[in-house]
A and B are shown apart, each in its own frame.
Chain A
Amino acid sequence: MKEHKLLTKRFGEIDPFSIEDFVNVGGYETLKKAMKMTSEEIIYEVEASRITGRGGANFPTYMKMRAMSKETGDMYLVCNADEGEPGNFKDKHLMEKDPHQLIEGMLISAYAVGANRGYIYIRGEYQSAVYLLEHAINEARKHGYLGQDICGKDFHFDLEVRQGAGAYVCGEEFALLESIEGKPGRTRVKPPFPTEAGLFMKPTLINNVETFSTLPHIIEMSGEEYGKLGSSFASGTKLISLSGNVKHKGLYEVEYGTTIRQVIEELGGGVSNGQKINMVQLGGACGPIIPEHLLDMDIDNERFEIFNSKMGAGAIIVIDDRFDLFEILLRTMTFFAHESCGKCAPCREGHIQIVKLLQKFYDTKVTYKDYESLVSLANVIHETALCGLGQTSTTSILATVEFFQYYYQQRIRQSERREWAL
């Protein structure tokens, strides 16, 4: 089992501060190649590659690009680098170790859809990424890769870095756009979708850092070749942020089709201190928590549908048997209660109630009625919330109710015994 290094192949090989280093290893050559192609040719390559959005929602990238390329007038490109999902750090690495790869990907997209202004929205905590990207943008501008008449052609595009102020919800595309506009980070009602009316109500192509960073490779090796990587469900490679109790925590790039166990045991070196894997949380705080016996599942997106959720942005958090499920859930849901933007009722009022119910579990003062309320509430928030935050926040509860039902039963029985003892 080895990594398949594509996006990460230049990591450590080049100085991220140096555009010369990047150009010397063939950087910006793919942009020149792309600029000899037509818009439709590029989008065709992206379609052939079968790439889907790497930010977690897995929407086919070519569909957004095609919708955008039909629009006329002002339009924007936005890179979502608000990596706020606990357990994820792939975008940080991509921006800090190969910033020009991202800029090149954005340039190719801008050329394909006809946008001439772009924003990279970076979470405020990533100050080093902000510094690096601003430096890289200036360098690229000096070398004629950004600005007017790029590569001597009639193509104008410029980029600007915008910083988030610490709100998790600003990773949601509409909240992010509102934040760039200078408004509070609260989502909008869909439709219209960003490709119809996004930033400043103009058509906007918004993609994750990893998605943009993959585009140069797709153009370089052709969409068909890229599509051969991975599995029949999902093509290409995926960056995995591996953390929790494993020996070698860190970022790994693997092909789709790799199993979760392979990532944890072969790349991560398994659990340290001779502990046993008890639970694994996938995707981040908004992802499902699964038991050890399901680890032989691929990291493929579609197979995660069984949890009514997705792989998300690619985090794997290993939890050994020392930890209390309800402490984990309580912390997670306190996080979401704090990060809910407050716009829609189920998310705003629901999370605070979920926290209250989980506190009862944590304190071993819970009844079966509380359990029923918890499950019902988690389902309602999941089904009715306006944006991705509320729709996915309770996944950990819904998954553990399915896979760790005995913990819930046990805690209710313990509470009853405690009651009698008193």
Chain B
Amino acid sequence: MMNAMINNVSVEVEDGLTILEAARKYNINIPTLCHYPELHINSDCRICSVEIDGRKGLKTACSTPIKDGMNIITNSPRVLNARKTITELILANHDANCTACTRNLNCELQSLAKNLGIDINRFPSVLERKPLDLLNPSLVRNSNRCIKCGRCVDVCKNVQAMHVLETMHRGHEMTVGPAFDEPLNDQTCTFCGQCANVCPVGAIMEKDNTDVVWEKLHDPSVYVMVQIAPAVRVAIGETLDHENGLISNGKLVSALRHLGFDHIYDTNFTADLTIMEEGTELIDRIMNGGVLPMMTSCCPGWINFAEQRHPNIIDHISSCKSPQQMFGTLAKTYYADKSNIDSRDIYVVSVMPCTAKKYEATRKEFRSFYDIPDVDIVLTTRELSKMFRQMGVDFDLIKEEPFDNPFGITTGAAQLFGASGGVMEAALRTVYEIVNKKPLVDINFESVRGLQGIKEATVDLGGKEIKVAVSNGLANTKTLVEQIEAGTSPYTFIEIMACPGGCIGGGGQPYGTTNDVREARLASTYFIDEEMVCRKSHENEMILALYEDYLDEPNSEQAHHLLHTYYEARK
């Protein structure tokens, strides 16, 4: 423990804290801009500069360790002037047309400028406009808004180990972007969107598709149906002024109906279906000497990563489509057949916590009929929230409603898909009971839950102990993939999620996804699971009926035709 003074308040904190951490413990707020929990301390923006008695110049609170006897001033005119000046300088090289920016009123630079009381910028704009990168279906890069805080570079390099984004050039010409400033789709970018999630301004964002959806909603000739991913319902509340992790399925359904969707379905339904297909595939691979370890295929960021960088292991990936794409296929085949609608008149919108899903929906493999995509358009959690705001949905007043049928009856297992380890847990619940032909005693697999990078568990399948692993974040994935390439992987089944924490921490989720927020979303996910009557995918009666009615049995020819896909090496 040590004693120091901050603004003449004596503080006692443990050793090894920075000034910023110590000050926050005592509710002394030091403004920051480039600082982000869980990322490296870059100390690039210098906004958190403070005065330390006896030291020359100002020191940044984020990077300076607090020492015994330090006397720190965080609010002197000298400090405030420095902060103001730096903010003005940043604004002078920033496209500050705030009302034309998606981040308006949700922008860290804007709120910093407001808090510091900047009314007139003393410095003229030195912004040199550059074209936008609009060439990929997932992300838009707008360098004119970039403030070079380094968060996206750090998350891309150190959390995801992708090294797609880097800083280039020097001085005021410094930019952030892929090598040679090429467009993102010429890079081995997985479109995971973590960069967009940590961006303090609007320099990297998802490609906005809300206008197309509004068009379709008001086109009387199409049936517009929407599917909602499990991670969206535990996060969207945050964007509508609710607490972290608010569970909002009921309100979501009714708000979507207000928007004008004809049918509101649940991706959890096809998540259950995925478990049936993937579980059966796993059992088949184990029993018949298939390629092991088998890896999950729900995460499009992971699929991109494997196809681009490790094409030699694509045989390990389950051939199952992701729940989003299974839904799209069913909507345009099964549903169209049953309701006698031309599948060209069905428009499938999906709401995902993910930017890579936007890319996934455009893949040529996912065009079952007439060369129209199975899933027509993907919205992120943030875009749906934008549509709610555009329409003025009041989340407080709105009533709760259940999902529509037939794709609305789901299980607790399916809800787990939103969490890292969830697909694994859901699959084990089913695979265990099918193989061992006896019910699980404890259906909660605690060892695969949580935010650790790589989680392991051992399961008894037919008298044989198999090892399974769960990885979240692409840096950890790399470790597991390299094990497979080296032939040393001890696992039989591996779940991969490209984003830290799984889909609840996806690139399309509300801004400010820190570990605290992830924990809240995880808690809600497991709460929903526990509240469900049915918690195992193979006990979902609608799924069983679907097989009876249309798909024959898991991994049947029909199921293979509709619900499975293939992968290939891509640049």
Q: CB within 8 Å of B: which residues of A?
A: 167, 169, 184, 186, 189-191, 308, 337-346, 348-353, 356, 373, 376-377, 380, 382-386, 391
Bound form: Cα–Cα A190–B57 in Å = 14
A/B interface sample: 27 pairs, CB < 8 A: A184-B167, A191-B63, A337-B172, A339-B171, A340-B172, A341-B174, A342-B173, A343-B42, A343-B174, A344-B45, A345-B44, A345-B86, A345-B89, A346-B85, A346-B89, A348-B148, A348-B174, A349-B86, A349-B90, A349-B126, A350-B89, A376-B81, A382-B57, A383-B57, A383-B82, A384-B49, A384-B82
A392 to chain B, nearest CB (A): 11
Assess the A345–B170 pair: CB atoms within 8 A.
no
Bound form: Cα–Cα A344–B47 in Å = 10
- Which one, A189, A190, A356, A380, contacts B42 given CB within 8 A? A189
CB contact under 8 A between A346 and B170, given known A380-B81, A383-B49, A386-B46 = no
Assess the A349–B170 pair: CB atoms within 8 A.
no
B265 to chain A, nearest CB (A): 47
Assess the A352–B171 pair: CB atoms within 8 A.
yes
Assess the A349–B92 pair: CB atoms within 8 A.
yes
Q: Is B124 in the interface zone, CB < 8 Å from A?
A: yes
Bound form: Cα–Cα A340–B60 in Å = 19
Near A by CB (< 8 A), chain B positions 37-88 give 41-47, 49, 56-58, 60, 63, 65, 78, 81-82, 85-86
* A343, A380, A382, A386: most-surrounded residue (chain B CB, <10 A): A380
Residues of chain B contacted by A380 (CB below 8 angstroms):
81-82, 85-86
Smallest Cβ-Cβ distance to B171: which chain A residue = A340
Smallest Cβ-Cβ distance to B149: which chain A residue = A345
- Which one, B49, B60, B167, B171, contacts A337 given CB within 8 A? B171
Assess the A353–B123 pair: CB atoms within 8 A.
yes
Assess the A352–B46 pair: CB atoms within 8 A.
no
Q: Is B169 in the interface zone, CB < 8 Å from A?
A: yes
Bound form: Cα–Cα A373–B122 in Å = 7
Bound form: Cα–Cα A167–B42 in Å = 21
Smallest Cβ-Cβ distance to A380: which chain B residue = B85
Beyond known contacts A184-B170, A345-B147, A383-B82: 16 more, CB 8 A cutoff: A308-B56, A337-B171, A338-B170, A344-B43, A344-B46, A345-B86, A345-B90, A345-B148, A346-B46, A346-B85, A349-B172, A352-B93, A352-B172, A373-B122, A380-B86, A386-B44
Smallest Cβ-Cβ distance to B170: which chain A residue = A342
Chain B 515-547: CB-based contact to A (< 8 A → 1; otherwise 0): 000000000000000000000000000000000
Smallest Cβ-Cβ distance to B58: which chain A residue = A383
A354 to chain B, nearest CB (A): 10
Bound form: Cα–Cα A352–B93 in Å = 10
Bound form: Cα–Cα A351–B172 in Å = 8
B288 to chain A, nearest CB (A): 48
A384 to chain B, nearest CB (A): 4
* B90, B126, B169, B172: most-surrounded residue (chain A CB, <10 A): B172
Bound form: Cα–Cα A342–B173 in Å = 8
Bound form: Cα–Cα A349–B125 in Å = 10
Bound form: Cα–Cα A176–B41 in Å = 20
Residues of chain A contacted by B150 (CB below 8 angstroms):
343
Chain B 199-229: CB-based contact to A (< 8 A → 1; otherwise 0): 0000000000000000000000000000000
Smallest Cβ-Cβ distance to B173: which chain A residue = A342
Residues of chain B contacted by A383 (CB below 8 angstroms):
49, 57-58, 78, 82
Assess the A342–B56 pair: CB atoms within 8 A.
no
CB contact under 8 A between A348 and B171, given known A377-B85, A383-B58, A386-B43 = yes
Smallest Cβ-Cβ distance to B147: which chain A residue = A345
Residues of chain A contacted by B123 (CB below 8 angstroms):
353, 356, 373
Near A by CB (< 8 A), chain B positions 449-486 give none
- For chain B, the bracket of interface size reads 35 or more
Residues of chain B contacted by A346 (CB below 8 angstroms):
46, 85-86, 89
Residues of chain A contacted by B82 (CB below 8 angstroms):
380, 383-384
Bound form: Cα–Cα A241–B63 in Å = 37
Bound form: Cα–Cα A350–B85 in Å = 9
Smallest Cβ-Cβ distance to A169: which chain B residue = B170
Residues of chain A contacted by B81 (CB below 8 angstroms):
376, 380
A204 to chain B, nearest CB (A): 19
CB contact under 8 A between A341 and B44, given known A376-B85, A380-B86 = no
Smallest Cβ-Cβ distance to A191: which chain B residue = B65
B336 to chain A, nearest CB (A): 55
Chain B 111-124: CB-based contact to A (< 8 A → 1; otherwise 0): 00000000000111
Assess the B57–A345 pair: CB atoms within 8 A.
no
Bound form: Cα–Cα A270–B34 in Å = 51
Residues of chain B contacted by A351 (CB below 8 angstroms):
171-172
Residues of chain A contacted by B43 (CB below 8 angstroms):
189, 344, 386
Residues of chain B contacted by A191 (CB below 8 angstroms):
63, 65
Smallest Cβ-Cβ distance to B42: which chain A residue = A189
Residues of chain A contacted by B63 (CB below 8 angstroms):
189-191
- Which one, B42, B65, B93, B122, contacts A349 given CB within 8 A? B93
Bound form: Cα–Cα A124–B156 in Å = 32
A293 to chain B, nearest CB (A): 26
* A345, A350, A377: most-surrounded residue (chain B CB, <10 A): A345
- Which one, A308, A338, A384, contacts B171 given CB within 8 A? A338
Assess the A349–B44 pair: CB atoms within 8 A.
no
Assess the A384–B44 pair: CB atoms within 8 A.
no
- Which one, B41, B44, B45, B92, contacts A353 given CB within 8 A? B92
Residues of chain A contacted by B171 (CB below 8 angstroms):
337-342, 348, 351-352
B150 to chain A, nearest CB (A): 8
Residues of chain A contacted by B89 (CB below 8 angstroms):
345-346, 349-350, 353, 377
B456 to chain A, nearest CB (A): 29
- Which one, A373, A377, A391, contacts B57 given CB within 8 A? A391
Bound form: Cα–Cα A186–B488 in Å = 39
Near A by CB (< 8 A), chain B positions 136-189 give 147-148, 150, 167, 169-174
Bound form: Cα–Cα A341–B92 in Å = 18
Bound form: Cα–Cα A344–B45 in Å = 6
Assess the A384–B148 pair: CB atoms within 8 A.
no
Residues of chain B contacted by A348 (CB below 8 angstroms):
148, 171-172, 174
A375 to chain B, nearest CB (A): 11
Assess the B85–A342 pair: CB atoms within 8 A.
no
Closest 5 CB pairs of A and B: A342-B174, A349-B89, A352-B172, A340-B171, A380-B85
Assess the A356–B124 pair: CB atoms within 8 A.
yes
Assess the B58–A342 pair: CB atoms within 8 A.
no
Assess the B45–A341 pair: CB atoms within 8 A.
no
Smallest Cβ-Cβ distance to A356: which chain B residue = B124
Bound form: Cα–Cα A380–B122 in Å = 14
Near A by CB (< 8 A), chain B positions 361-399 give none
Residues of chain A contacted by B47 (CB below 8 angstroms):
345
Assess the B167–A186 pair: CB atoms within 8 A.
yes
Bound form: Cα–Cα A169–B170 in Å = 10
Bound form: Cα–Cα A409–B135 in Å = 54
Bound form: Cα–Cα A169–B174 in Å = 14
Residues of chain A contacted by B60 (CB below 8 angstroms):
384
B534 to chain A, nearest CB (A): 52
Bound form: Cα–Cα A169–B169 in Å = 13
Smallest Cβ-Cβ distance to A336: which chain B residue = B171
Residues of chain A contacted by B56 (CB below 8 angstroms):
308
Assess the B126–A353 pair: CB atoms within 8 A.
yes
- Which one, A341, A385, A386, contacts B170 given CB within 8 A? A341
Residues of chain A contacted by B170 (CB below 8 angstroms):
167, 169, 184, 338-342
Bound form: Cα–Cα A353–B45 in Å = 17
Bound form: Cα–Cα A341–B173 in Å = 9
Bound form: Cα–Cα A60–B46 in Å = 28
Residues of chain A contacted by B90 (CB below 8 angstroms):
345, 349
Residues of chain B contacted by A186 (CB below 8 angstroms):
167
Residues of chain B contacted by A189 (CB below 8 angstroms):
41-43, 63
* A186, A346, A386: most-surrounded residue (chain B CB, <10 A): A346
Residues of chain B contacted by A343 (CB below 8 angstroms):
42, 44, 150, 167, 174
* A373, A382, A383, A385: most-surrounded residue (chain B CB, <10 A): A383
Smallest Cβ-Cβ distance to B94: which chain A residue = A349
